[in-house]
């Protein structure tokens, strides 16, 4: 069996919901890449400029809306009426598992962000912090990571079927 | 205490019922094809309602479709 045939077989075995999750995962992956790239390549002046940061966050929101709408329109055109079908019990369980892991990442991100604020407020560490608004960056990255984990876990659990682990 | 697992004969029953596809069964019981695949592979235990619906599709009592037995 050629690689092309294998790919077609794999694509046939995918449900429409899996394709939707995969698209959401790719969109979030791109948003994380875009955000991290912008922050890591930014100059010190840009990082400390609230206008630049506001613009970056605005871009992330606009990109996420545009990409989600565009992908959903494409998926709706290709859908075999599956988009209208409600989730069955198993899919709802998988969805909940996704939310569980996603909540963990959000809690950890929020915890680290708050801890970072405490460090910055401490005069002993204040001079050693090189990145302004670091807690905000941590929370934004945690938020996008949580979305990636939410979609990724659903894809993995849906494919392996092992939802009781 | 020995481990017991829920197994099923859905694959065989589908074959015996005019080679019914997973998609046809899924539509008949109102779940996705992926769920039927997971049930057949014993990776997911269906709800009681879905189990009864499957038995109804094959016109068989529940215990002839699903078995609760010791793990091999």
Of residues A83 and A89, which shows the higher confidence score?
A89
The pLDDT value recorded for residue A81 is: 67
Q: How far is CA A120 from CA A42, A44, A51, A165, B68, in A?
A: 21, 17, 21, 40, 59
Q: Token digits for B11?
A: 């694959």
CA distance A141 to A149: 12
Instruction: List the one residue out of A116, A117, A81, A103 whose CA is nearest residue A147.
Output: A103
Fold of B4-58: 434 Repressor (Amino-terminal Domain) (1.10.260)
Confidence at B24, pLDDT banded by 50, 70, 90: very high
CA distance A150 to A139: 16
Q: Assign residue A147 a region: left if phi > 0, alpha if psi is -120 to 50, beta otherwise?
A: alpha
Domain edges within chain B: 4-58
pLDDT reading at A79 higher than 70? no
ipTM of this complex: 0.76
Taken in order B67, B68, B70, B72, is the CA torsion positive or negative?
positive
Please provide the average confidence, as pLDDT, over all residues in chain A: 86
Indicate which of B23, B26, B38 best probes the interface with A, i.e. most A CBs within 10 Å of its own CB: B38
Contacts of B28 in chain A (CB under 8 A): none
* Total CB pairs under 8 A between chain A and B: 35
Confidence at B41, pLDDT banded by 50, 70, 90: confident
Nearest to B44 among A15, A85, A90 (CB): A90
Q: Assign residue A157 a region: left if phi > 0, alpha if psi is -120 to 50, beta otherwise?
A: alpha
Indicate which of A90, A159, A160 best probes the interface with B, i.e. most B CBs within 10 Å of its own CB: A90
Confidence at A80, pLDDT banded by 50, 70, 90: low
Prediction pTM value = 0.82
The verdict on B6 touching A (C-beta cutoff 8 Å) is no
Would you call A88 and B32 a contact, using CB atoms and an 8 Å cutoff? yes
Would you call A90 and B38 a contact, using CB atoms and an 8 Å cutoff? yes
Contacts of A161 in chain B (CB under 8 A): 37-38, 41, 43-44
Q: What is the pLDDT of residues A99-137, one digit of tens each?
A: 999 999 999 999 999 988 888 888 777 666 668 889 999
């Amino acid at each position: 069996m050629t690689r092309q045939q294998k790919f077609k077989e794999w694509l046939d075995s995918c449900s429409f919901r899996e394709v939707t999750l995969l698209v959401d995962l790719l969109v979030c992956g791109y948003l994380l890449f875009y955000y991290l790239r912008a922050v890591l390549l930014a100059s010190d002046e840009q990082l400390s400029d609230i206008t630049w940061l506001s613009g970056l966050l605005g871009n992330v929101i606009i990109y996420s809306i545009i990409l989600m709408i565009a992908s959903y329109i494409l998926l709706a055109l290709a859908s075999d009426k599956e988009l209208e079908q409600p989730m069955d019990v198993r899919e709802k369980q998988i969805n909940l598992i996704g939310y569980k892991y996603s909540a963990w990442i959000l809690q950890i991100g929020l915890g680290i962000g708050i801890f970072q604020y405490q460090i910055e407020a401490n005069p002993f560490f204040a001079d050693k912090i090189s990145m302004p608004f670091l807690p905000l960056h941590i929370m934004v990255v945690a938020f996008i990571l949580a979305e990636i984990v939410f979609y990724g876990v659903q894809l993995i659990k849906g494919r392996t079927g092992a939802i009781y682990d | 205490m020995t481990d017991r697992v829920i197994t099923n004969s859905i694959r065989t029953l589908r074959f015996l019922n005019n080679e019914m596809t997973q998609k046809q069964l899924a539509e008949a019981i109102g779940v996705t094809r992926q769920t039927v695949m997971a049930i057949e592979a014993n990776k997911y235990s269906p709800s009681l309602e879905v189990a009864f619906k499957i038995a109804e599709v094959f016109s068989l009592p529940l215990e002839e479709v699903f078995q609760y037995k010791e793990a091999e």
